[in-house]
Amino acid sequence: MRVVAVASALAVLGLLDGALAGFRSSLGRRGAVEHRVRDRVAARRGLLLMGGLLLPVAVATGLHALAPGPWPAEAYVRAGTAMLAVYLPYAVVTLLALLGYLALGWRWGYLASAVILGPFTLVRPLVATAGVVAGAVRGDDGGVTVGCLLALGAVLAVEPLSGRLWWSAGQGVRSVASATQRQ
């Protein structure tokens, strides 16, 4: 049961990070007045992309479980718990700042963005790497370390891939308009 809880928490954080990375990759590309539709599209695309990027982690873990010998479930729990110890404080502060950005007036939202969200975006790769190092050390298993490294690759790749696939600085939004908007 602990394996499921830890894996679920990491999956939720990873998918949330993917949605936010998709959103971030779409920002600043054009000065359209209405951004809500584009923001939702970007978040959905980031979420789906992260889901795809995390598939190798699930496959590697499944293959590790099917390999001859005992499956090191406790190593996965130790690694996941260490990763959560690094990621959860970062995620809570980020989500609180994001809620402030969305719920408060534009001045407080701008302050939340400038003081918390911007700097946190800059340190995101370092936090992701620190969590993976903590997980690999605490897991103390080669298969667990491979899973941690694959997850790190997914986290570091989602935003640049989203930007390249769907958001181009020269072209603005790609393929976002609905059928009714195009008519």
pLDDT score of 169 more than 60:
no
Centroid of chain to Cα 14: 4
Q: What are the residue boundaries of the structural domains of the chain, listed by start?
A: 2-169
pTM for the structure as a whole: 0.79
pLDDT score of 30 more than 60:
no
Residues 6+ apart with CB under 8 A from 48: 18
Tens digits of residue pLDDT in 78-134: 999 999 999 999 999 988 888 887 788 778 877 877 888 888 888 999 999 999 999
pLDDT score of 77 more than 80:
yes
Residue 178's pLDDT is: 43
| Integer angstrom CA distances of residue 6 from 2, 10, 17, 23, 34 | 6, 6, 16, 26, 38
Q: What is the mean pLDDT of residues 21-48?
A: 72
- Say how far apart CA 176 and CA 70 lie, in whole Å: 48
Rama region for 175: left / alpha / beta (φ>0; ψ in -120 to 50; rest): left
pLDDT score of 180 more than 50:
no
Q: Which residue has the higher pLDDT, 111 or 141?
A: 141
Q: Where are the beta strands (DSSP E) in the chain?
A: 167-168, 172-173
